[in-house]
Amino acid sequence: MVGAGLGVALKRQGVLPDSWLLPGVASTALNVGINDRICKAIAQRAGGRFAYDTYARFLLYYGVIVHNKNPEVYFDVLTNIVAKSGRDRLLVSDLQTVISEFKQIQEAPDDPFEQVLSVVKAIYFKVSCLVMTPPAKHTHGYCYRHCRHHHRIT
């Protein structure tokens, strides 16, 4: 699922199906802990569409939340794949392409514990930046890069 901020933007562009919208979730990463091996195991038990859809959502949020990637880059990938497929519902093969292209934008670690730690740090930095930094200094979104520099956090 995609949080309200990303989801509304993608929905307006006709890229996201309703199933990817999760109102009220703007700055969180979903499906943390998934990797290629876990995705394949989920596909065997619950079906490929569910597994690859879950993994794609994780990669999108991991790139945006943890690595401060521009969501528009992900939107462009989804828009292109939807346009090429000519369908409004992505198939397993489409989702596998989405995953492959999302990984080119930003890889996520295979280790679930490393994923969790990265997400927790990113969200902590963003929240602490919003609390500790005067609004005038919030020049680039949640200012994760600013916080890392300003607060000397590594």
Look up the pTM and report it. 0.70
In a domain, 56, yes or no: yes
Query: What is the number of domains present in the chain?
Result: 1
Range of 33's domain? 2-110
In a domain, 130, yes or no: no
Q: What value does the mean pLDDT take over residues 33-59?
A: 93
In a domain, 12, yes or no: yes
* Contact between 21 and 7 (Cβ < 8 Å): yes
The helix (run of H) or strand (run of E) holding residue 44 is: helix 36-46
Percent of all residues in the chain with a pLDDT value above 90, rounded to a whole number: 36
Q: How do the residues of the chain divide into helix, strand and coil, expressed in percent and rounded to 5?
A: 65, 5, 30
Q: Decide if pLDDT at 58 tops 80.
A: yes
The helix (run of H) or strand (run of E) holding residue 49 is: helix 48-61
pLDDT digits (tens, 9 = 90+) for 84-135: 988 877 899 999 999 999 999 999 999 999 999 998 888 777 766 665 655 5
In a domain, 97, yes or no: yes
Give the CATH number for residue 16. Answer: 1.20.80.30
Cα–Cα distance, 66 to 153 (Å, whole number):
14
In a domain, 25, yes or no: yes
